[in-house]
Structure 1
Amino acid sequence: MGMCVCGGALLSCSFGMAPSSLTVLPANRVINSMPVATIMDNIPMVNILPFGMCSSMANPQVAAATAAALGVLTPMPCIPVIPAPWVPGSPTVLIANYPALNNSCKLMCAWAGVIQISNPGTTNIQVP
């Protein structure tokens, strides 16, 4: 069984250079010490904060800076672009009519990064 993810969970991106935290707004949520997250907590700059610098060549800013540096990879500030919700979620546990987020869920960034949960923020709530 996976662990339930709460606000303040630690996130990492495969192309990011720093960890980030998950922000969960408290509207219609189960509150432990922090609000419990759902698969729809995927809004950039609201729920998903930047990961420092981005090193993905799929990111147009990184590609332009790298081209200007004659091919030397030049990371640029991270601005996540999230086109879809977290997958797969826990479909048997619903919070505000959405599947709960567990620590094995992944989120794809449009710049080819895979965002995953490093620390779920709680260790006492398990979800399937």
Structure 2
Amino acid sequence: MPRWVIHDAVTACTFGASPSRLAVLPHRRATHLRRPVATILDHQPLVNILPFGACTSPANPQVAAATAAAAGVLTPQPCLPATMTPWTPGSPGRAVMQEVALQDRCTCQCLWGGTVNIVDAGQATQHVP
């Protein structure tokens, strides 16, 4: 069952070297577990989507230039997310402050070809015996 994504959820990019965290700004937000709930519009680079360490995408101009300078040997460069479009597909029918809610099955595309996904929605799981 999909879970709602909240501030500080763990994210990953297919071309990123390490996981990162989703930052959800506290203004105009509903909360869950005292953390702001994310929407599909929480995709702004360096505001919501934070860097994933090093980028290995050949479509990234910095990686392409460094790789060319290294005689074709893939040379990762610092990640600067380029997520220009909202998360998809969202959760139609579920809104947070009139914006479509973000679930852990959603993905976001980076301009350099990477797919950003939710690794951990940020909600603790409790097991009842």
* Pair in the same fold by TM > 0.5: yes
- Provide the rounded CA distance (Å) in 1 between the counterparts of 2:98 and 2:122: 22
- Partner amino acid for 2:15? F
Partner of 2:56: 55
Partner of 2:65: 64
- Partner amino acid for 1:103? D
> How big is each residue's C-alpha offset from its partner over 1:18-63, in whole Å with a ceiling of 9 and x where there is no partner?
1000000111111122100000000000001000000000000000
- Provide the rounded CA distance (Å) in 2 between the counterparts of 1:49 and 1:83: 13
- Provide the rounded CA distance (Å) in 2 between the counterparts of 1:123 and 1:29: 20
- Provide the rounded CA distance (Å) in 2 between the counterparts of 1:51 and 1:74: 15
> How big is each residue's C-alpha offset from its partner over 1:61-103, in whole Å with a ceiling of 9 and x where there is no partner?
0000000000000000000111210000001111121110000
Question: What is the aligned-residue RMSD (CA, Å)?
Answer: 0.9
- Provide the rounded CA distance (Å) in 2 between the counterparts of 1:31 and 1:73: 42
Unaligned runs of 5+ in 2: none
- Partner amino acid for 2:27? A
- Partner amino acid for 2:66? A
Partner of 1:13: 13
Question: Which 4+ residue blocks in structure 1 deviate beyond 3 angstroms?
Answer: none
Contact 1:3/1:123 (8 A) holds in 2: no
- Provide the rounded CA distance (Å) in 1 between the counterparts of 2:4 and 2:16: 24
> 1:123, CA displacement in angstroms?
4.6
- Partner amino acid for 2:19? P
- Partner amino acid for 1:84? T
Partner of 2:4: 4
Give TM-score scaled by structure 1 length: 0.94
- Partner amino acid for 2:106? C
User: What secondary structure does 1:66 align onto?
Assistant: helix
Give TM-score scaled by structure 2 length: 0.93
User: What secondary structure does 1:2 align onto?
Assistant: coil
Contact 1:54/1:77 (8 A) holds in 2: yes
Unaligned runs of 5+ in 1: none
